[in-house]
A and B are shown apart, each in its own frame.
Chain A
Amino acid sequence: MATEVLWWIFAVAIVATAAGVVFSRSVIHSAICLILSLAGVGAIYAFLMVEFLALTQFLIYGGAVTVLILLALMLTRVGATGLPDKVTGAQAPFAALVGLGLMATLIGVAVGTKWPNDIDDAPTNIPVEQISEVLFRDYGAPFVIASVVLLVALVGAIILARQEEGE
């Protein structure tokens, strides 16, 4: 019972902060809402009993990714001149239509489908050792490929963002 109450508190907080990311007029407010929203998703992983993912979520998203985004916001700040910028384009009503339609469809499918034995199977704890075993043994090749992807992305980002001669 207490778990359900906590779950609903976190769910409402995640949805509220996600809405803050999307609808807020200030980019800094959006970034702070994003941090809170990602931390809430980490809490959801904790509810699903995957502690390793919860920790990873806090470290990678709460730490690395949001710091990167804040840095980019700082570097791309247009001078505060006069009127505040429009935050959404003219297509916003259509975007809202697409979002609402997608939400209705997804919720309809999620509620309408008969899932097998989903009530009896409570989430049980997944130890880190088990995850590492599967990740490094069964999925070793994708793991190596993912590291190559990271390396290439890193080098590419440096090349793209570098200040070149004569600029």
Chain B
Amino acid sequence: MVPLENYLILSAVIFSLGVYGVLARRNAVLILMSVELMLNAVSINFVAFAAYLDPNKILGAVFAVFIITVAAAEVGLALAIVIRLFRNRSTANVDEAATLKW
């Protein structure tokens, strides 16, 4: 019997690792992978809360389904932008695509 706190702590650790990755990494694709980690941490939280605290036990799973859908849309669109950026600038590093910061 695993208590609810374990899931929350696991999700907090994954989310913080994702935040570090988003803030520290240079490669845009690696930033996207860190975003995926954060989304997964949020899904774990939703499903764990639903399984332990929701009497119907179902809404968290529905939320997680929508999170997965939106994450798929987001990763497709973002990777298209990264590929476009690479074609125009020959780089996928976010700190080199700084034209506004001339």
The chain A residues found within 8 Å of chain B, CB to CB, are 3-4, 7, 11, 14-15, 18-19, 21-22, 27, 30-31, 34, 37-38, 41, 44-45, 47-50, 52-53, 56-57, 60-61, 64-65, 68-69, 71-73, 75-76, 78, 85-89, 91-92, 94-96, 98-100, 102-103, 106-107, 110-111, 115-116, 118-119, 121-124, 126, 130-131, 134-135, 139, 142, 146, 149-150, 152-154, 156-158, 160-161, 167
* B82 cross-chain contacts in A, Cβ below 8 A: 72, 76
Interface residues on B, range: 35 or more
From the candidates A3, A14, A48, A96, name the one contacting B1 in the complex (CB within 8 A): A3
Complex: how many Å from CA A87 to CA B69? 29
Interface residues of B in 49-97 (CB under 8 A from A): 51-53, 57-59, 61-62, 64-66, 68-77, 79-84, 86-87, 90-93, 95
Taking a contact as CB atoms under 8 Å apart, the answer to whether A111 and B5 are in contact is yes
5 closest Cβ contacts across the A-B interface? A95-B23, A99-B20, A106-B12, A110-B8, A103-B16
Taking a contact as CB atoms under 8 Å apart, the answer to whether B77 and A156 are in contact is yes
Taking a contact as CB atoms under 8 Å apart, the answer to whether B65 and A124 are in contact is no
* B61 cross-chain contacts in A, Cβ below 8 A: 50, 52-53, 126, 131
